Amino acid sequence: MTARISSQRYAVEDFQQALDLCYSRGWTDGLPVVPPTEPAVRAMLDAVGLEPDTQIAFITNRQVAITAEKVAINAVMAGCLPEHMPVVVAALEGIADPRWGYHGPATSTGSAAVLVIVNGPIAKRLDFNSGDNLFAPGWRSNATVGRAVRLVMRNVIGTMPGRLDRGTFGHPGRYTYVMAENEAESPWTPLHVERIGCRPTDSAVTVMAALAPIQFYNQLSSTAAGVLGTLCDTLRYPGQIGQPNYCVVLAGEHMRTIAADGWSKAEIRKFIFENSTNTVAHFKRTARMPGAVKPEDETANRPIVQSPDDILVVAAGGRAGSFSCFIPGWASRTSSEAVTVVIKERSA
């Protein structure tokens, strides 16, 4: 590929000067970045077979075109290998989708990060973690793919704190928030097969505007209803009433308990939908809804989501530990919904 790289070039004497330049320009997420040289950027572009000026996505609300060249530069900086590029590209296509609604989750005081769920054979091939320490450091793929997405959001789309990013808290998921589904051990249909009818041999990412994970503990139950009852008791009080997507992540012990009862993901979703309601009276008393409490509010039940389909159920997390978690989405599903995108891979 010999098409021209059009980005401005900066001459530096050595690695340290390159790093200092990136920091001084505000191009990093606070961590050091890999200096993006032309050969490294071209290797990224070769991995996806794209010309530098190919438009990956257009963010309408920001009037910004995301080109393959700029994705490649930020992916190098994040520490990605060329093999990661197709995953980064798919995630960006997801957040540029009108259903994800870029402006809301990116700019809002509500502080959503981009949760990236990886499915399909690419997860194992590129060693995306789906087990112990699911959200913790240590796996290059999980760390760098999410980081590349955030660097594109900052450097290309202009999502900068105080300007077009007003997250009151943000959260650590804005460094990276990538997980793979544990398809090898899961008894259930993988997320991408469920959501958009992928074949299990396809690879895909699902992106969801997401707050931080909230874990719950249940060591005592030996039934699906027992485990999920504890989940529902915890999930009912997230402090938001907008009915966004939720991602429920069931780790090893709970996964096996629920599976032993023969429950499918659809049954899990239905149980959560029916058992995690709050009354309108409760929401008004706790200042999540405006207005005085009316008598009818005491029996008006409001589910946590608009539909059971808004709950993404994923098998992932450690083999040991009586913990699972749920991840609230942002605002409401009508303002931003999770999007699943097939990863386009080039054959070798």
| Closest separation in Å from C-beta 292 to another protein | 14
Give the range of 99-107, 214-222, 224-232, 264-272 binding another protein by CB under 8 A.
99-107
Is there binding between residue 54 and another protein (CB under 8 A)?
no
Give the range of 7-15, 132-140, 197-205, 228-236 binding another protein by CB under 8 A.
7-15
**Is 164 or 300 the residue whose CB approaches another protein more closely?**
164
| Closest separation in Å from C-beta 243 to another protein | 12
Residue in 64, 214, 259, 281 binding another protein, rule: CB under 8 A: 64
Site string for another protein, 12-31 (x = CB under 8 A): xxxx--x--xx--x-x----
Q: 8: which DSSP letter? A: -
**Number of Cβ atoms within 10 Å of the Cβ of 275:** 17
Which amino acid makes up residue 236?
R
**Is 162 or 295 the residue whose CB approaches another protein more closely?**
162
| Closest separation in Å from C-beta 191 to another protein | 25
Distance between CA 243 and CA 237 in Å, rounded? 12
| 74-95 exposure pattern, b = at least 16 Cβ within 10 A, e = fewer | bbbbbbbbbebbbbbbbbbbbb
Residue in 61, 221, 264, 279 binding another protein, rule: CB under 8 A: 61
Q: Exposed, middle or buried: residue 168 (CB in 10 Å: 0-12, 13-18, 19+)? A: exposed
C-alpha distances in Å from residue 316, one per residue of 19, 119, 190, 326: 36, 11, 11, 12
Determine the length of the chain: 348
Is there binding between residue 182 and another protein (CB under 8 A)?
no
Is there binding between residue 73 and another protein (CB under 8 A)?
yes
**Is 62 or 192 the residue whose CB approaches another protein more closely?**
62
Residues in a beta bridge with 119: 204
41 φψ region: left (φ > 0), alpha (ψ -120 to 50), beta (else): alpha
Site string for another protein, 286-315 (x = CB under 8 A): ----x-------------------------
Is there binding between residue 329 and another protein (CB under 8 A)?
no
Q: Please state whether beta strands 178-180 and 113-119 pair in parallel, antiparallel, or not at all (unpaired).
A: parallel
Among residues 59, 217, 195, 170, the alpha carbon closest in space to that of 117 is found at 195
Dihedral angle of Cα 317, 323, 328, 329, to the nearest 10 degrees: 10
**Is 11 or 348 the residue whose CB approaches another protein more closely?**
11
| Closest separation in Å from C-beta 5 to another protein | 7
Is there binding between residue 62 and another protein (CB under 8 A)?
yes
Site string for another protein, 143-172 (x = CB under 8 A): --------x---xx-x-x-xxx-x------
Is there binding between residue 262 and another protein (CB under 8 A)?
no
| 290-328 exposure pattern, b = at least 16 Cβ within 10 A, e = fewer | eeeeeeebeeeeebbbeebebbbbbbbbeeeebbbbbbb
Residue in 2, 63, 222, 299 binding another protein, rule: CB under 8 A: 63
Across 120-184, the runs of DSSP E, i.e. the strands, are 178-180
**Is 110 or 120 the residue whose CB approaches another protein more closely?**
110
Question: Where do contacts with another protein occur on this chain (CB under 8 A)?
Answer: 5, 7-15, 18, 21-22, 25, 27, 35-38, 41, 61-65, 70, 73-74, 77, 101, 103-105, 107-109, 151, 155-156, 158, 160, 162-164, 166, 290, 331-332, 334-336
